[in-house]
Amino acid sequence: MNHRDELLSLFSSQKNGSVPAFSGLIHITADGLRDQGLSFGEIHHEAQKMAQAAMSTFKITGMPSAALPLDLCAPAEALGARLKFYPDEEMRFPQVVSDFLYSSTKELPGHFAFDLDRGRLGIVCDAISLVKKELGSKVIVSGTIPGPYTLLLYICHPRNLFIEMKKDPQSVIGAVLQLSAFLAELGTAYKNAGADLITIHDMGGSPGFIGPSKFEQFVFPGLKGLISALPAPTVLSICGNTNKSMELLAQTGADAVSVDQTNDLPASRAILQDTLLFGNLDPVHVLAGGSPGDVRTAVWVAIQSGVDAVWPGCDLVPQTPIENLRALQF
């Protein structure tokens, strides 16, 4: 059984005794791009270069995974948001420009029509297909999408959104569910293009950021609806302190939950009886700022704490040293 088959077997409850290390989140590096003759600023607009960038980490470290797109803002861009693309030397991922599409959730249309010709969505699908064609027998390919609440933060003015969460919660919940339906179509398109799994990265909707009660009220319904509409397998990645909300995360229906370094892994393992647990290496202080020995220690701690797969707690810092990623492949 090769690495890809071993990783896929995780999702069918066929564990082979070892704990793999990979990622469904963005994991490209400056060294990997340099190895492929790419610059950071050119990898977001052409399918071939996007695919090369996504494959670069495997090619230079052996980490058996690739994730596309290379930023979380592509769905917001497809809905009409303007993005800022940074010059090569800054090595920053594209971000939504702060002149938000909507000042209120009440302004959202009744339905967002899904169209692969809008923004870069078609390019992302083409890039997924290219990765699948070249490395489909060697790596697991993740189609990565934001959670619906995170997407709402990209297109609706946050200050007004937070006010409406208090004064008109039903309008906010309706907007989240509307975006959930759009993301379900997008995730299905990524799967049809060749993605092996769909990773939902709901950074903005973390209970560690908005609080457990608001997570339950505003984020959980959208995630549950999204996951039920997506083709399996799915991974739900939630940053921040999720310790008080692990029961809810398990109830979303995701095949796996990925957590970051602030999570109490043994406690989460006890709660996630029928859900895979991925995590939780610190992407900044350990993977980017530590030594290979620090990485190996963090891997050992995560395994001893009960993870089913070792994952970075969030997207990789592009300056992450290659030797640290090689240390993951124990």
Kindly list the domain boundaries of the chain, sorted by start residue.
19-326
How would DSSP label each residue in 169-234? HHHHHHHHHHHHHHHHHHHHHHHHHT-SEEEEE-STT-HHHH-HHHIIIIIHHHHHHHHHHSPSPE
Across the range 128-150, mean pLDDT stands at: 97
Q: How many residues does the chain have?
A: 330
**With pLDDT > 90 as the criterion, what percentage of the chain qualifies?**
89
pLDDT at 209: 92
pLDDT at 148: 98
pLDDT at 12: 84
CA–CA distance, 84 with 102 (Å, rounded to integer): 18
**pLDDT tens-digit readout, 280-296:** 999 999 999 999 999 99
The residue written with tokens 């290659």 in the block is 322
**pLDDT tens-digit readout, 253-290:** 999 999 999 999 999 999 998 999 999 999 999 999 99
pLDDT at 127: 98
End-to-end CA distance of the chain: 17
CA distances from 98 to 84, 103, 158, 163, 249 (A): 10, 11, 10, 18, 30
Q: Residue 310 phi/psi, 5° resolution?
A: -85, 120
Q: What is the pLDDT of the chain when averaged over all its residues? A: 94
The answer to whether the beta carbons of residues 73 and 145 sit under 8 Å apart is no
Q: Is 1 or 124 the better-scoring residue by pLDDT?
A: 124
Across the range 214-232, mean pLDDT stands at: 97
pLDDT at 99: 83
The residue written with tokens 């620090």 in the block is 294
Across the range 64-74, mean pLDDT stands at: 97
The residue written with tokens 């309008």 in the block is 171
CA–CA distance, 285 with 39 (Å, rounded to integer): 25
CA distances from 95 to 82, 236, 283, 297, 311 (A): 9, 22, 20, 34, 24
The answer to whether the beta carbons of residues 72 and 150 sit under 8 Å apart is yes
CA–CA distance, 66 with 132 (Å, rounded to integer): 9
Fold for the domain defined by 19-326? TIM Barrel (3.20.20)
Structure tokens at 247: 């029961």
**pLDDT tens-digit readout, 15-51:** 667 899 999 999 999 999 999 999 999 999 999 999 9
pLDDT at 15: 64
Structure tokens at 115: 């169209």
Give residue 306's region: left, alpha or beta (phi > 0; psi -120 to 50): left
How would DSSP label each residue in 271-309? H-SSSEEEEEE-IIIIIITS-HHHHHHHHHHHHHTT-SE
Residue 56 Cα to chain centre, angstroms: 18
Q: At what angle do helices 158-167 and 148-155 cross, to 10 degrees?
A: 120
**With pLDDT > 70 as the criterion, what percentage of the chain qualifies?**
98
**pLDDT tens-digit readout, 163-217:** 999 999 999 999 999 999 999 999 999 999 999 999 999 999 999 999 999 999 9
pLDDT at 281: 97
pLDDT at 13: 74
pLDDT at 14: 64
